[in-house]
Amino acid sequence: MDTVKYSDIVAAQATLKGVTKKTWLLPSKSFSKMGGCNCYLKLENMQSTGSFKVRGAYNRIFNLTDNEKKRPVVAASAGNHAQGVAYSSKVLGLKSTIFMPAFTPPLKVIATRSYGANVVLTGDSFDDAYKVSQEYCKEHDATYIHPFNDPLIIAGQGTVGLEIFQQLSEVETVVVPIGGGGLISGVAIALKTLNPKIRIVGVEAAGAASMLASKEAGHMVSLPRVDTVADGIAVKTPGELTFNLINEYVDELITVSDEEIAHTAYLMLERAKILAEPSGVASVAAIMYEKANFKGRNVVPIVSGGNINMSLLEQIVKQGMMQEGLRTTIQITIPDQAGELNKLTALFSELKVSVQDIEHIRSISSVPIGRVMVIFTVNLQNQAQLKQITDELKLRGLGMKMLK
């Protein structure tokens, strides 16, 4: 099996029945308004293990030969593929060993181990973990489960496309995040077979756009490095199979910046009450920032995963609140005397401004002797409160500097 047919995806759907979820297709008024289209969120962040990856992993492992099932199952991954392989192996009664970079967030390691996998932390990058996994496969005659460049993996991911059509036959455009290209390859084959008029748009992080670079060059290109907050789609080199399928079935490739991804992740949480990881919201960011022509169309962005690092989530929420004008950081220099700080906190209380954090700085040359720089992080109800703060401080003869 060296390519993927529509019948393979239909067969995969039968294989996955009772194992994976048929995830919700949720109409979103907020993102429809922002993108000027009819937006329906395909919530693969609600899938078992928290991402679409389990679909392909289970389909691949289920179809191992009897001889392959006697060998160890191996994968290299920093996140969602690891959990998909570990979970699938456990359900099918097989042992798995997952190689992950040493920097992998603890929650992802804990989740992978919770599915029964033997996790080996090695190297500083995915490439390092992959190299060690290949050495292990040779030494132990193990079966390697590739994250995207495999027909059975692609067929499993393609079941997302079948579900979308079953849930919304009037779909006109589907927007898919691209890392290695397994998801968009399967989805495109499924939907183009069902209705060739459906437009398939692929989205990469601007700092990891290896598929777009390859398409523009006319051959596969390896990026020297990737730099993006969307680690789930940070792939230096696309797969040969996925590259060929994307050239055949995908209509358009676009990119979104990390800033656009992060703000979309915040708005997904704030407006839609949906927690998704940065790679998972790249498709929604493309709609929100109008990266292609979505106007007036029935558009389905695939929210591909929800396994977010908690420290990253904290940063996204904080910066999102600042961008929305709900939080700001203010620098004020006051006399270093008892009672002066109390005057400021009393002012904030009068204005019904919530103080989130206070920092004092004295021992730097820009702070005059006898004074103290106070940095307030405050939560605001609206932008009008910020003007009230500015006006009151001016009346008291205190200068204020906004920090971003």
Q: Residues 350-367: pLDDT tens digits?
A: 888 888 899 988 888 888
Rounded to whole angstroms, the Cα distance separating 160 from 164 reads 6
Q: Which of 28, 51, 185, 304 is catalytic?
A: 304
Rounded to whole angstroms, the Cα distance separating 227 from 210 reads 12
Rounded to whole angstroms, the Cα distance separating 224 from 329 reads 37
Same domain, 194 and 244: yes
Same domain, 63 and 131: yes
304 counts as catalytic = yes
**How confident is the model at residue 398, as a pLDDT?**
78
CA-wise closest residue to 70 among 143, 153, 147, 144: 143
- 14 Cβ neighbours under 8 A, 6+ residues apart: none
CB atoms closer than 10 angstroms to residue 32:
17
| Whether the Cβ atoms of residue 289 and residue 37 lie closer than 8 Å to each other | no
| Whether the Cβ atoms of residue 285 and residue 260 lie closer than 8 Å to each other | yes
Q: Which domain holds residue 75?
A: 53-144
Euclidean distance between the first and the last CA atom of the chain, given in angstroms as a whole number: 54
Choose one of 287, 319, 351: the last residue of a domain. Answer: 319
CB atoms closer than 10 angstroms to residue 162:
21
Looking at the structure of the chain, the number of domains it has is 3
Per-residue pLDDT of the chain (404 residues; tens, 9 = 90+): 578 999 999 999 999 999 999 999 999 999 999 999 999 999 999 999 999 999 999 999 999 999 999 998 999 987 899 999 999 999 999 999 999 988 887 888 999 999 999 999 998 877 788 899 999 999 999 999 999 999 999 999 999 999 999 999 999 999 999 999 999 999 999 999 999 999 999 999 999 999 999 999 999 999 999 999 998 898 888 999 999 999 999 999 999 999 999 999 999 999 999 999 999 999 999 999 999 999 999 999 999 999 998 889 999 998 898 888 888 888 888 888 888 888 888 888 888 888 889 998 888 888 888 888 889 888 888 878 888 888 888 888 877 787 76
Same domain, 161 and 303: yes
Same domain, 396 and 359: yes
Choose one of 285, 319, 353: the last residue of a domain. Answer: 319
Q: Which of 53, 108, 215, 291 is catalytic?
A: 53
**How confident is the model at residue 324, as a pLDDT?**
84
Distances in Å between the alpha carbon of 132 and those of 83, 112, 118, 136?
Answer: 18, 18, 14, 6
Distances in Å between the alpha carbon of 358 and those of 141, 190, 341, 342?
Answer: 58, 54, 10, 12
Same domain, 329 and 309: no
Phi, psi (deg, nearest 5) at residue 120 = -115, 115
Phi, psi (deg, nearest 5) at residue 378 = -125, 145
114 counts as catalytic = no
Choose one of 144, 171, 196: the last residue of a domain. Answer: 144
| Whether the Cβ atoms of residue 89 and residue 68 lie closer than 8 Å to each other | no
Structure letter (DSSP) for residue 353? P
Angle, helices 310-323/258-272, rounded to nearest 10 degrees: 90
Rounded to whole angstroms, the Cα distance separating 394 from 15 reads 69
**How confident is the model at residue 345, as a pLDDT?**
87
- 35 Cβ neighbours under 8 A, 6+ residues apart: 287, 288, 290, 294, 299
Q: Which amino acid makes up residue 79?
A: G
For 65, the token pair is 């030969």
Look at residue 128 and tell me if it is in a domain: yes
Phi, psi (deg, nearest 5) at residue 299 = -115, 135
> Which residues in 218-242 are b (16+ Cβ under 10 Å) and which e?
eebbebeebebbbbbbbbbbbbebb
Same domain, 169 and 306: yes
Global pTM? 0.90
Same domain, 273 and 359: no
